[in-house]
């Protein structure tokens, strides 16, 4: 039944249901796993996604981002031209889902991006048994092992204790990472206001409207040196931008799975690398592949070869799926641009 899923220039296409999953160019019918810009693009005829993903897309692209939209609840079953379709939490960002396709008993699951680490800002990953698992492998190398986020947050608060006269400027992606950082900071007991670069405000407001509590948030606005001793979140690119100079000599931090690689931290201007990722690390990729029970594994989005090799060494049918177009959309960790 795998011929029902075909790789095209526009992305993964389900011929039986005549729809695409996370297409990278405008199509008639799109099913979208989550709101990161490389997965969720504007201009489709119709979009089926979680209600949160639809709201995220409306914040980013405006209300008319697709001809028509339909929200699907987690676990709800629909039939799209005879293909059974359901969405299941992926634990990646607010509203992120894996998509389960039932072709009359043969079940395929397209993971989108996912993680297994705790994240107070979204529903946890749900394990969905399947025959074919299409998995991301953004961090598909054994070197990538993400430590618990609590320890990384502890590095940030410890630095604040040591350098209380300096602004702590933390680069974090606008969708998912910024919100998760704030939530983990609150869990750690940090209750001062967190200051936000303007680019992070709309999605933080959406998360709050969806019921995620952040405590006091303040726009940076025109402030600079008066934010000594405070935590300021900004998009990663702002760390090395003129904008950052207003804080004098800040401590710069960056939250990303790529911070495991020291050279990348330096390159991105991060003195304090925080290894906090919204993607599964190597161990969780391997564990998830096994736990789904799938015999066929398609690997996409990053370091495919190592995971394909690992799967084959375990007797699974694995192949790399060289999907083009899934790039750092300004807020993902999809490729090593970070
Ligand atoms: Zn993503
Ligand atoms: Zn992605």
Bridge partners, 137 (sequence order) = 302
**Contact 283/306 with Cβ under 8 angstroms?**
no
Q: Which ligand lies nearest to the CA atom of residue 96 in the structure?
A: 1
pLDDT at residue 327 is higher than 60 = no
- 184 CA distance to ligand 2 middle (Å): 22
> Would residue 138 count as lying in a domain?
yes
Q: Are residues 109 and 46 in the same domain?
A: yes
Q: Does pLDDT of 338 surpass 70?
A: no
Q: Are residues 131 and 71 in the same domain?
A: yes
Instruction: Tell how far the Cα of 226 is from the centroid of ligand 1, in angstroms.
Output: 35
For β-strands 11-14 and 19-21, DSSP reports them as antiparallel
C-alpha 62/C-alpha 203 separation (Å) is: 13
Q: Is the same domain home to 93 and 67?
A: yes
Q: 335 CA to middle of ligand 2, Å?
A: 8
CA nearest neighbour of 305 among 141, 111, 136: 141
Asked if 246 and 306 sit in the same domain, the reply is no
Same-domain check for residues 282 and 138: yes
Q: Give yes or no for residue 192 having a pLDDT over 80.
A: yes
Pairing of strands 231-234, 44-49: unpaired
Mean pLDDT (whole number) for 214-223 = 97
Q: Which domain holds residue 294?
A: 2-143+278-320
Q: How confident is the model at residue 1 (pLDDT cuts 50, 70, 90)?
A: low
Q: Please state, in angstroms and rounded to a whole number, the distance separating the CA atoms of residues 207 and 279.
A: 19
Residue 250 Cα to ligand 2 middle (Å): 31
Question: How many Å lie between the centroid of ligand 2 and the Cα of residue 338?
Answer: 13
User: How far is the centre of ligand 2, averaged over its atoms, from the C-alpha of 329 (Å)?
Assistant: 9
Examine the pLDDT at 326 and tell me if it is beyond 80: no
Residue 276: pLDDT over 70: yes
pLDDT category at 328 given cuts 50, 70, 90 is very low
Q: Distance, CA 38 to ligand 2 centroid (Å)?
A: 6
Where is average pLDDT lowest: 120-129, 220-229, 263-272, 318-327?
318-327
Q: Tell me which of 9-13, 27-31, 295-299, 324-328 is least confident.
A: 324-328
The whole-angstrom distance between residue 219's C-alpha and the CA centroid of its chain comes to 24
Q: What CATH number does the domain containing 263 carry?
A: 3.40.50
If you measure from the C-alpha of residue 207 to the centroid of ligand 2, how many angstroms do you get, rounded to a whole number? Answer: 20
CA 82 to ligand 2 centroid distance, Å: 28
* CATH code: domain of residue 88: 3.60.15.10
Specify the pLDDT at position 116: 98
Taking a C-beta distance cutoff of 8 angstroms, is the pair 276, 256 a contact?
Answer: yes
Q: Record the tokens describing residue 291, joined without a space.
A: 């736990």
pLDDT at 334 over 50: no
Kindly give the distance from the C-alpha atom of residue 281 to the centroid of ligand 2, in angstroms, as a whole number.
14
pLDDT of 278 strictly over 70: yes
Cα(26) to ligand 1 centroid in Å equals: 19
- Residue showing tokens 């939530």: 183
Supply the pLDDT for residue 3: 67
Q: What separation in Å is there between the alpha carbon of 39 and the centre of ligand 2?
A: 6
Residue 18 lies in a domain: yes
**Confidence (pTM):** 0.94
Query: Tokens at residue 176, please?
Result: 């998912």
Ligand minimally distant from the alpha carbon of residue 278: 1
DSSP string for 261-316: SHHHHHHTT-SEEE---SS--HHHHHHHHHHHT-SEEEEEEE-HHHHHHHHHHTT-
Copy the structure tokens of residue 64: 């008319």
For residue 328, the CA-to-ligand 1 centroid distance in Å is 9
User: Do 297 and 256 belong to one domain?
Assistant: no
Return the SS3 of 185: helix
Q: What is the Å distance from ligand 1's center to 247 Cα? A: 30
Q: What is the CA radius of gyration of the chain?
A: 20
State the chain's mean pLDDT as an integer. 94
pLDDT in tens, 290-323: 999 999 999 998 778 999 999 999 999 999 987 7
Q: How far is the CA of 21 from the centre of ligand 1 (A)?
A: 14
Closest CA to 334 of 297, 311, 304: 304
Q: Are residues 114 and 23 in the same domain?
A: yes
Number of compact structural domains in the chain: 2
Ligand closest to Cα of 327 equals 2
For residue 240, count CB atoms less than 10 angstroms from its CB and return exposed for 0-12, middle for 13-18, buried for 19 or more. middle
């Amino acid at each position: 039944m795998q011929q029902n899923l075909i790789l095209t220039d526009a992305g993964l296409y389900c011929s039986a249901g005549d729809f695409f999953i996370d297409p990278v160019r405008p199509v008639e019918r799109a099913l979208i796993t989550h709101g990161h810009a490389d997965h969720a693009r504007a201009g489709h005829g119709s979009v089926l996604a979680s209600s949160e993903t639809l709201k995220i897309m409306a914040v980013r692209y405006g209300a008319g981002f697709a001809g028509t939209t339909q929200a699907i609840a987690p676990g709800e079953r629909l039939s799209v031209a005879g293909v059974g379709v359901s969405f299941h939490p992926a634990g990646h960002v607010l509203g992120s889902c894996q998509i389960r396709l039932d072709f009359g008993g043969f079940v395929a699951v397209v993971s989108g991006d996912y993680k297994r680490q705790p994240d107070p800002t979204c529903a946890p990953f749900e394990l969905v048994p399947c025959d074919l698992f299409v998995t991301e492998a953004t961090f598909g190398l054994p070197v990538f092992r993400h430590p618990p986020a609590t320890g990384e947050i502890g590095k940030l608060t410890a630095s604040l204790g040591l350098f209380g006269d300096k602004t702590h400027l933390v680069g974090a992606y606008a969708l998912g990472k910024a919100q998760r950082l704030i939530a983990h900071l609150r869990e750690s007991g940090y209750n001062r206001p967190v200051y936000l670069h303007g680019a992070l405000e709309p999605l933080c407001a959406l998360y709050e409207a969806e019921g995620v509590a952040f405590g006091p948030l303040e726009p940076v606005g025109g402030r600079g040196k008066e934010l000594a001793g405070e935590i300021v979140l900004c998009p990663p690119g702002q760390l090395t931008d003129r904008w950052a100079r207003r804080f004098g000599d800040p401590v710069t931090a960056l939250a990303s799975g790529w911070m495991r690689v020291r050279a990348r931290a330096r390159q991105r201007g991060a003195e304090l690398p925080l290894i906090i990722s919204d993607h599964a690390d190597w161990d969780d990729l391997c564990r998830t592949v096994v736990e789904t029970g799938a015999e066929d594994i398609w690997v996409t989005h990053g370091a495919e070869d190592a995971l394909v090799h690992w799967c084959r060494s375990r007797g699974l049918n694995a192949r790399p799926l060289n999907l083009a177009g899934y790039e750092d959309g300004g807020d993902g960790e999809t490729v090593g641009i970070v």
